[in-house]
Structure 1
Amino acid sequence: MKKEINWGIIGLGKIANKFATALTHVENARLYAVASRNRDKAVDISEEHNAKVAYGVYEQLMKDENVDVIYIATPHSFHHKLSLECIKHGKAVLCEKPFAMNRKEAEEMIALARSKDIFLMEALWTMFLPHYQFLLDTIKSGAYGKIRSLKADFGFEAEFDRDKRLFNKSLGGGSLLDIGIYPIFLAYSLLGKPEKIEAIAKFAETGVDMECEMKFMYDDAQASLHSSFKEKTPTIAEITLEKAVIKLHSRFHEPTSISIISEGNETTKDFNVETNGYNFEAAHVTQMLLEGKSESSKWSHDETLDLMELLDNVRREIGLKY
């Protein structure tokens, strides 16, 4: 059995740098190769993170026989095409969120991976963080009863620039796909698919959403969700159950602490994460590959498809088309 997994990275922006840093904290894994359309950038990143090879053409990395898995960290609109190409070259794929531009693209990616029995996973790193696993276990235990409501927001102030990815429609820009996916993921992972969705948005002149307000209605619960490029928000999550309120503190999607308020008492749990947090999903993928798996045991293809469908449904509500 192979004892070490060689990683490659395609698309070398901020997230890729964070991921490369996190890989140094993962057992049985190493960054082997990086690729950018700007080869000088690839060389710089490879030297910074001790990758063995730097490529100026994505396909060269895909063809490298020493690469076991490729992390795709390009803008959203390239995820579908690049994932398919990587899979066709026999490479396992960890693709940044959002997995694709719509559910149809996601279905094509998953179908190809399944047909070739090749590992493919959406890089929804929050799912693998210790505080989030603790949250899921706590709620699943039933100790505090059922969820009655939840609130989650994610917002930061972004200076408008039509040439930047965030505001570029051709690159899948907009707050919904970029950061709104996190509050939606929270609601979905805790409550499942809603019975009804209501959503309104404000748009930039480039046609992407600057902010989005969403309500997910369930039989006996409701989720209020918000994303914004117009202002910095607390970026917290608050879950109200029958017997407690659970708070995920600021930047709830990153390593953070959790407070539980029940019967007049508040307790806070810190998880003492000393990394940027991307190592947890990287470790999971590495372990899945060492075990010969073609699908994650924690974030399945079906869950990715459900999440893409929810994003599609919100876009339909606000009238956002790519």
Structure 2
Amino acid sequence: MTQSIGWGILATGRIAHTFARDLALVADADLVAVGSRDLDRASAFADEHGARSAHGSYDDLVADPAVDVIYVASPHALHLEHARLALESGKHVLCEKPLTLDVDEAEEMVRLARRHDRFLMEAMWTACHPVVRALRQRLAAGEFGTPRHLHAELGFRVDAPPEDRMLNPALGASALLDMGVYPLTFAHLMLGEAESLSATALLSEDGIDLDVAGTARHPGALATFTASMTSWSARRASIATDLGRIELTDFHHPPYATFTPYGEGGSNDAEDLGRPVRIEGLEPVVGRGYGNEIAEVGRCLRAGLKESPWVPLEQTLTLMRQMDTLRAEIGVHHPGSPGRGSAGFDPTA
């Protein structure tokens, strides 16, 4: 591995543009190539973001010798296909979340990475975010008391044609997969692995979940979450402990978190409050936060790691099992492989 890591971006949708802008802010990370099924789109993307090469096919992208790691930015339903292409070509992979549509496919991707001795990480940048990492570390150390309840919500109104990947069942459209994965991950990071989950949802005429509300029992704590493609969420998260309350005004892009202690024998009516404690990140946030996950990939590759300790593959598989279970409960079944969604959630797996 050279000192500077050569990145290739597979697919040129909106998230790929955000990723490329943050990539430009990371030291020793170079955007060397971009691939699209349309050479004109690839060339336009390369011109905008300064990539050295533009490829009109994904096969050409993964064959580019200057590329060390591929960022897979295609729709969920195509992640396994495109990660396979990269891994079998000897490239490391950062794959956009969710890793795949179900745990069967996710386990197959992990097997491929291990078979080809390549690095693989889900692009769950929340787990790499400096503020989230600092909060997780200090909460686990008992600094803010024992957590008893967590709530997180994420949603925005999707105004798009039916064929758009956000609304097309064949491409993995799902409020749970697109938005719900973030509060589920946040709860996992803060409270540990869920012991049981349940959800309810409002579905579209095409059978995709547009709005989801869920509950989970974690060791010694409860979590609730909402995800929406029809309304504007506050994007807030809070953690109630036996000593006070932690709040993130925007847990999706948190500038900081705040812990407010409550006095002994007080009440929850804004009396007997202690001085708020501001929880800063362990290091600066790079760009929108994607820069921190890009830096983590670089750190792992230089250290010879095949997975990140911040986003371990078993954590990704656990969350995929949870989403499989929740989708089965709310009656959402994406077209594709016969086994899709059949694995279920087993907290011991």
Question: How high is the TM-score relative to the length of structure 1?
Answer: 0.96
Q: How far does residue 297 in structure 1 lie from its aligned partner after superposition?
A: 2.0
Q: Does 1:42 align with 2:54?
A: no
Q: Which amino acid aligns with 2:204?
A: A
Aligned pair partner of 1:289 in 301, 311, 314: 301
Contact 1:150–1:237 under 8 Å retained in 2: yes
SS of 1:223's equivalent? strand
Q: Over the residues paired in the alignment, what is the CA RMSD in angstroms?
A: 1.4
Aligned counterpart, 2:347: none
Aligned pair partner of 1:308 in 303, 320, 336: 320
Q: How far does residue 161 in structure 1 lie from its aligned partner after superposition?
A: 2.9
Sort the Cα spacing of 1:32 and 1:255 in 2 relative to 1 into closer, same or farther, 3 A: farther
Q: Which amino acid aligns with 1:281?
A: E
SS of 1:214's equivalent? strand
Q: Which stretches in structure 2 are left out of the alignment for 5+ residues?
A: 263-272, 335-349
Q: How far does residue 165 in structure 1 lie from its aligned partner after superposition?
A: 1.3
Within 2, Cα distance between the matches of 1:192 and 1:144?
16
Within 2, Cα distance between the matches of 1:125 and 1:83?
18
Contact 1:8–1:33 under 8 Å retained in 2: yes
Q: Does 1:104 align with 2:104?
A: yes
Q: Which stretches in structure 1 are left out of the alignment for 5+ residues?
A: none
Within 1, Cα distance between the matches of 2:169 and 2:78?
13
| Worse-superposed segment, 202-211 or 252-261 | 252-261
Sort the Cα spacing of 1:27 and 1:317 in 2 relative to 1 into closer, same or farther, 3 A: same
Within 1, Cα distance between the matches of 2:135 and 2:193?
19
Q: Which amino acid aligns with 1:275?
A: G
Sort the Cα spacing of 1:309 and 1:207 in 2 relative to 1 into closer, same or farther, 3 A: same
Within 2, Cα distance between the matches of 1:304 and 1:198?
19
Count residues with an aligned counterpart: 321
1:191-270 equivalent positions in 2, closer than 5 A: 191-250=191-250, 252-263=251-262, 264=273, 265-269=275-279
Q: Which amino acid aligns with 2:3?
A: K
Q: Which amino acid aligns with 1:258?
A: A
Q: Does 1:92 align with 2:92?
A: yes
Question: How high is the TM-score relative to the length of structure 2?
Answer: 0.89
Aligned counterpart, 2:265: none
Q: Does 1:60 align with 2:60?
A: yes
Q: How far does residue 219 in structure 1 lie from its aligned partner after superposition?
A: 4.7
Q: How far does residue 160 in structure 1 lie from its aligned partner after superposition?
A: 5.7
1:172-191 equivalent positions in 2, closer than 5 A: 172-191=172-191
Aligned pair partner of 1:278 in 272, 279, 290: 290
Q: Which amino acid aligns with 2:278?
A: T
SS of 1:166's equivalent? coil
Q: How far does residue 156 in structure 1 lie from its aligned partner after superposition?
A: 1.0
Aligned counterpart, 2:8: 8
Sort the Cα spacing of 1:273 and 1:284 in 2 relative to 1 into closer, same or farther, 3 A: closer
Within 1, Cα distance between the matches of 2:199 and 2:234?
20
Contact 2:62–2:86 under 8 Å retained in 1: yes
Within 1, Cα distance between the matches of 2:113 and 2:230?
38
| Worse-superposed segment, 99-108 or 189-198 | 189-198
Q: How far does residue 274 in structure 1 lie from its aligned partner after superposition?
A: 6.1
Q: Which amino acid aligns with 2:231?
A: E
| 4+ residue segments displaced more than 6 Å | none
SS of 1:254's equivalent? coil
Within 2, Cα distance between the matches of 1:190 and 1:128?
13
Deviations 1:98-144 (A, max 9, x none): 00010110101101111221101000001111111111111111122
Q: How far does residue 320 in structure 1 lie from its aligned partner after superposition?
A: 0.8
SS of 1:26's equivalent? coil
Aligned counterpart, 1:135: 135
Sort the Cα spacing of 1:154 and 1:171 in 2 relative to 1 into closer, same or farther, 3 A: same
Contact 1:255–1:276 under 8 Å retained in 2: no
Contact 1:62–1:86 under 8 Å retained in 2: yes
